[in-house]
Every structure is written in C-alpha cells, then in structure tokens.
A and B are shown apart, each in its own frame.
Chain A
C-alpha cells in the first residue's frame, strides 16, 4: 500500500499531550476515539502500584462529553438512562447504563448533574445520534462539548491530600460521587469524586487553556505524594480489581453488535443494581427489562471469580465440573492481581451460578517451555469488586 504513507495523520492531540509526551519512554501511544492516548509511560507495574499507593494521573480528555440542558432535561435523562435520576441531586454524579428498546445495553457511563436541568453525559462511544433520536418530544438541547473540557483522573490514596495542598477548599467534605467547582490561580476547575480505579480519587475538569497549568501544578506539588502519570494498561488492571466493566472488553454496545444475540442487558452485564425498575417514570427498555427480571430470562450474569493458582484466566471457558463436561460460560477480563495476590477474572455465568461462593472450573491454556499446557483451575464466584478499600467512600 504505497500510497498510505501520503495520508496525513488525523489523530488529535489532547491538551495534555505535550507534557505527557515529555514523560513517555518509547512510543506508548495508542488510539482512543480519535485521540492519542497513552498505553503506558514507562513500567506498567510501576504505574499500577503508584495508583494503589500514591496517586496517578490519567488523561480522560478523549471521553466524549454531551451537554444536555433545557426545560425537560431532567425528565429526558430519567427517560434515557436506567438509573433513577430524581435521586441524583444537583452537583452529584451517577454511574448508569442506557439501553435500546429491547433492554440491551448501548453503553454505560457517568452522568453529572450540574443543575436541576443541566447535565453532562460522559461516554466512550458516540451517542449523539441515539440521544437525538431519544429526545423526540422533549424540550432539550443536546450538544457535543468534548473539545470544550479536558480532564485528568487523579486517583489513589494520596489524591485528596494533594488537592488539599493545591488549595482546593472543601475537598475534605466532597462526598463520593459529589461534584464541586472552584477557581485556583484564576483557573476554573470542576472536580468530581469518581473514577475508574475503585480507590479514593477524583476527576479534574478544566478548560483546554488551563490544561498545562493543571498538569504542571499537580506534578510540581505531587512529588511528596508519589504522583505518576499512567497509561491505559495500568488503568485496565486497577479497573478489573475494582470490578468496572469496559465496553468492547466485557460487553458489546447494542448499536455495534452485528448479531442481535451479542447484545447484553445491564442485568447480564452485571450492573443490574443500576437498573431502576422501580422508578416512577418509563425509561427506554424498561418493559423489556421488567420482562427479563420477571421471567428470569437473563442468559448469564457477569460475576467475579477468584481462580486458584497463578495463571490469568482471560477469555477462558468455564465449566460446572472439573471434567469439563458441562460448559457454562466464558471469562471476559482477567488478570493476576499484584495487590491481592490472586488470579481474578470477570465471568459470564448462568444465573444459577451467580451466587458468591459457588464453585466452578475454568480451563486455562498457558505456554510452558515452548509447549501449550492445559490447566483446569478451581474458581470461586465472588462479587466483581475484588478491591474495595474503605477510603474509597470515606
């Protein structure tokens, strides 16, 4: 393909690109939704441990952000997503799923309620078409505002102390999933206490022109707090420990599924708790989800498993028995957890097996001295929240 080289690069750079590039060893860039995004800076395990012991920065700017405002914004959001939005107060964030007509998950993401009728929705896939389609009849304005905000996830046990030193007043009292806005050195900043690591942590959103100030300030003040930038590989490890599902890894978004059977309901994807079947208003897919719940038609439920031994079990078949006679499912994400010293994985198991403590088996193939060895490992079904320190919510 001789002519490809002539095509100009089209990937965009986030406002944090230059300071990140300065710290990068080798080329750790990957593509994320049309942006350069770091997969790693130096050592993945170093970045992982930094997140669990100090605090780390991850550039979340490529997340797609939609602003939803207007007289019916609250009503519309309540119709769009599975969570009960009436229970989310202004300046609170909430994690939620949204579904198609059949109650199959299009994606999950975070909603930020900034005012009575002022919301921001963060998504990893493009949703504008769906939002517009769903908004018919509602008095709302939906805008894609990705380029207007850029953000860093500051996560880890020392993250709060760092923000305190930085001079963010009131950070001690910001509750889990709370949102606050502040101005420091003339820079507007929105802080929410959420993240993808399952630990104490915050997301810091600023205008693009404040990006370098934010990065430099955090890195300058953060040294005593063991601050480090991380890439998506380390993030993937901590999010598995925290039990967070990831689109395209643990489920396929309904709009991207080629076969309808590839779609999954939020109940099947293991976030049934985020489905407000009891909420007062109708939401897209509610009738289908009510049916699924009432008739127990979930094909599987995404649970956690702890795998005996040390081999990671991602993409492995699951069996009811050691003899591997009855296949019951498949693992999605899986890893050896360096903190927990356990092999952990997300497992799609039939509802009957989705009770913590259930014993199942997995078939792991692993390389050993130029051969591929087969191992049947005993697994225990658990909650997906493998790592859940009290400080997360404290």
Chain B
C-alpha cells in the first residue's frame, strides 16, 4: 500500500514523486517503457550518434524545482541565429551590443527596436510567469480556498504593478496574432519570421492566427526568473536532465518501476484506489497521480462509465493535433557555414513563409517549405557523436498529426527530404555529409512516447486551453473528478516544456488534500 502511485516516469511524474517522498509519503512511479524520463531522453539513433529524442533545448525548468530538488545540471547557454541566405545570419545572444550590431546589418530600425520591444514583452511575460508555479484559481472567486485567493490577489497586484500602460498593453496583445505584433514594431522580414516561429512552435496555429502572441509570452516567461533565464543545451542531452531528476527521486526514496504499463486505474466505490498493470498485478495507493496526458489518463486508463459526459466531451475535444516533427541527422562533418553554429538556428525567413507552411498543415499536408529550429549539440558536447562527427537535432514545423491523404510513411519521408532540401540551400554541402538520419512524425512520437496526438505539450498551450481551462474548467486544480485521482503532467496547468512546474504544483495540491483528510479524520 502506497501513499501515492504515479503513472509515468516523465519529468513531471518524477518531480511530483520527489516532492511527495520528501514530504514523507511512500511513493511508487510506474513507467510503461523501459527507460526513465519520458520525452526528456537522450537516444542513440545511429551507431555512436546520440541526440535529445524530443525536446532539445532546456529553458523552462522551473528554478524552484531545481532548488527544491537539488538538481545539478551541466549546461551550455546558447543564443539564437536566424539563418539568412548566403550563409548570413542575425545572431541574438545575451550580448546586447553584439545583438544590436547583428540586427543592424539587416535593419538599423529593428536593431533599435529589438531591445525595447523584447524588454517590454519580457516584463509582461515575467508578470504572467509568476503564475506558472501557482495553482489556477476558479473564476468564481468565492469557490477558492484562502491560499488560492491570496495567490490570485498577488497575481492581480503583480499585473497592476506593471503600470497602467503595460497592463493595458498586456490585455491588448494577449489575444493578438504575432504577425500583427511583429508588423507593429519591426520592419525586417527576418525578425518578423523569428517571432512568427517562436510564437507558433508547437501549436497548430499560423502566425496570423489570433492568440499567438500569448504563445510567445508563454515562451518568454521561461526566459526570465520563472525559468532558466535563457536557452541552454544540457550536457549529455535531455537524458541528462531526466537522470538528474531520477537521482533526486531515488535519493528521496521513490520507488521506480519501468516496463510496467498500466492497464487501467482501479476504482472501488467510485474512488481511485490503485493501478492494475497490464499483467494483472495490482498496486494500491491512496492517491493516483497521472503524468500521462489527459486523454490517455481519462479516456483510456479510466474505464468507460466512470466520468461525467460533459467532462468527457471536454477532454475528448482537447486540441491535441501535434504538428511538430523531429529530424535527427548524423553528419560526418559540418558544412563550412555551420562550423561554429553552436546556438539555436532558425529557418523562418519571413512571416508568410511560416504562414504558408501552416496552410499546408491546415489541409492535412506536411509543409512544403518547413520552418525549422536546429541545434548541433555535438559542437558543445563531444560525447554525443564520434570524434570529428556531429549530430543535428531539428524541429520541423508543420507536420500535422491528422493527415488527410498522405500515408504516414510518405509523410515521414517528406519530413526528412524537405528538411534536407531546405538546409542544403542554407548550408551548401550538407546533403552529402548526412550519414545517418531519422525522422519522427507526430504519429511516431505518439507511438514512442505515448504523447496522444503527437502533441509535445500534452495538449496545445493556447488561451482556450490554458490556466483554469487546463485540462478543463472546474478541474484545473490537478484534482480529477474521481476522488483520489490527480493529474500531474503537462496536460495540467501550466503546460508544456521540460519545466516540472505542473508536477510541483500537483504535489502541493496532493499534500494539501492529504493534510485536510488527516485533519478531518
């Protein structure tokens, strides 16, 4: 008999487990696959070539999680380069002067605007970011407990402290589309393209779709004090982050079982009391916390006939249409243009380029000309590739999960081919350097990592699926309708990225409920 059984040893599952164990609970984590870390993984895709399997840049890990769990992460800060034709680029780094100079080569006006605009966006994002580590309240103020009310009050104060102008600016831009925002402030296509990609990466929206600025803010919120403070490549890939979390969990006394797929959640008298594994084994616990996505948890692991209709409808209609594919390239050397590109490389030359890529996805096709985010982690971490050789890890936007006519195999081929076609133009000679490769479409990611719909964030991070609407209204506080069942993954507030915030918040709510139960008893 455990205090809490956790489904899935992804990063959020591990964070929840560690917090609970540290509070004295007896905790078990059961993981379907044979490895720990979920989508935070380093894997060898070609002999000797290793790469972060899904997400490849660390930026969102919540500082409080890092501190509370005593995580030590060896990491390299990186900048962002917007790739332009003929080997040129705009390089955005922590060095403001160099950044300005780099942008200035394309547009002096944008060089002047960049720090001003990003500072304002960052300020707003940081104010919003303070809610990443809080439990979303109910909009019916009286329905909240004191702690949540206080948090809400603090949040309102934080927004008010932005000042009248910035607060109004926040209300204005929150629902705007990024194409408009970029047009308002910038003139160069390259900067607009960068913002377009940053605001749409991972959501099934194009830069002209409203609400995309919210996504940009969401991303920026982790660049400040509510995240890692920038972009980093973890040494050893994302798997190293998972390893650090696993170690922390084990230190705290968490029991972890791999290769233990859950068949369903055991319900007795309509209360969650345990897990039944595929083999039939039962694991009993007072709390069940699932770090699997909401659809898997509530539609598959909870057997039919235990959840109310409207709630099920909401969960079924979560927008989970994954649209990012992952491409890994094993290179026997780097083309000249990339010899020193150790940062994040972005292919999104202009807004319309990204919008057209989205148009393809809209009609259920793989983007003809994809927007790409590339890192070459082997430049900063030699352990990832054989000596003298390199790996490239690439996010391919948009390759929709819901394909209309393209067969899945054809889609996978298109993703790889179109990636190389695109890159070979920007870094001539790349094609000939490729000695191994793999492309993972959203379908593949669903199969390999159990991400429903191949959606990286367990449900799109958009305004209508965010905050107290994540995963569904009335159930935003990690507590699911079935007593004893909790959600602790990215499908709950505050959503995606390797942040651990959802896991941390869920653990807090579970402990709160346990305490209340004890008091009542």
Contacts and interface: CB of A to CB of B under 8 A. Distances in A.
Tell me whether A and B are bound partners.
yes
Interface of A: 72, 75-76, 78-79, 100-101, 130, 133-134, 136-138, 281-282, 284-287
Contact of A284 (B299, B303, B309, B316): B309
Contacts of A284: 308-309
Contacts of A100: 308-310
Contacts of A130: 309
B305 interface: yes
Contact of B270 (A101, A134, A286): A286
A100 B308 CA distance: 7
Contacts of A282: 270, 305-306
B481 interface: yes
B308 A285 contact: yes
Contact of B305 (A75, A101, A133, A287): A75
A136 B316 contact: yes
B306 A133 contact: no
Interface in B311-325: 311-313, 316
Given A138-B304, A287-B481, A133 B270 contact: no
A286 B308 CA distance: 9
In this complex, which of B299, B306, B309, B311 has the most chain A Cβ atoms within 10 angstroms of its Cβ?
A: B309
Contacts of A76: 305
B313 A79 contact: no
List of 6 A-B pairs having minimum Cβ-Cβ separation, nearest first: A137-B304, A101-B308, A79-B305, A134-B309, A101-B310, A282-B306
A100 B304 CA distance: 16
8 contacts: A72-B304, A100-B309, A133-B309, A136-B304, A136-B312, A136-B313, A136-B316, A287-B308
A356 B472 CA distance: 43
Interface of B: 270, 299, 303-306, 308-313, 316, 481
Contacts of B299: 136-137
A291 to B, nearest CB: 12
Contacts of B308: 100-101, 284-285, 287
Pick from B299, B304, B316 the residue with the most CB of A within 10 Å.
Answer: B304
Contacts of A78: 305
A138 B299 CA distance: 11
Contacts of B306: 282
Most chain B CB within 10 A, of A130, A138, A282, is at A282
Contacts of B481: 287
A287 B310 CA distance: 14
Given A282-B270, A286-B270, A287-B481, A138 B305 contact: yes
Given A286-B270, A287-B481, A101 B304 contact: no
B407 to A, nearest CB: 28
Contacts of B303: 137
- Residue from A76, A134, A137 having most chain B Cβ neighbours under 10 A: A137
Nearest to B309: A134
A101 B306 CA distance: 11
Nearest to B310: A101
A252 B328 CA distance: 58
A286 B309 CA distance: 11
A279 to B, nearest CB: 11
A133 B304 contact: no
A378 B481 CA distance: 45
A281 B310 contact: no
B318 to A, nearest CB: 13
A133 B299 CA distance: 13
A285 B305 CA distance: 11
Greatest chain B CB density within 10 A among A75, A101, A138 is at: A101
B452 to A, nearest CB: 15
Contacts of B313: 133, 136
Contacts of B312: 133-134, 136
Contacts of A286: 270
Contacts of A133: 309-310, 312-313
Nearest to B269: A280
A359 B494 CA distance: 55
A101 B311 contact: yes
A138 to B, nearest CB: 6
Contacts of A137: 299, 303-305
A59 B100 CA distance: 82
Contacts of B270: 282, 286-287
A355 to B, nearest CB: 31
A274 to B, nearest CB: 19
Given A100-B310, A137-B299, 10 more contacts: A72-B304, A101-B311, A133-B310, A134-B309, A136-B312, A284-B308, A284-B309, A285-B308, A287-B270, A287-B481
A287 B481 CA distance: 9
Contacts of A138: 304-305
A76 B303 CA distance: 12
B309 A281 contact: no
Nearest to A80: B309
A136 B312 CA distance: 8
A208 B306 CA distance: 39
Contacts of A285: 308
Contacts of B304: 72, 79, 136-138
Nearest to A103: B308
Interface centre among B306, B310, B311, B312 (most CB of A within 10 A): B310
A228 to B, nearest CB: 42
A142 B299 CA distance: 20
A83 to B, nearest CB: 15
B265 to A, nearest CB: 13
Contacts of A136: 299, 304, 312-313, 316
Nearest to B307: A282
A285 B309 CA distance: 9
Nearest to B481: A287
A281 B305 contact: yes
B11 to A, nearest CB: 29
Contacts of A281: 305
Contacts of B310: 100-101, 133
B82 to A, nearest CB: 45
A298 B29 CA distance: 42
B307 to A, nearest CB: 8
A72 B310 CA distance: 20
B354 to A, nearest CB: 36
A302 B309 CA distance: 26
A128 B344 CA distance: 52
A141 B371 CA distance: 44
A293 to B, nearest CB: 14
A285 B308 CA distance: 6
A157 B481 CA distance: 49
A18 to B, nearest CB: 41
B105 to A, nearest CB: 56
Interface centre among B305, B310, B316, B481 (most CB of A within 10 A): B305
A130 B313 CA distance: 10
A356 to B, nearest CB: 33
A137 B316 CA distance: 11
Nearest to A287: B481
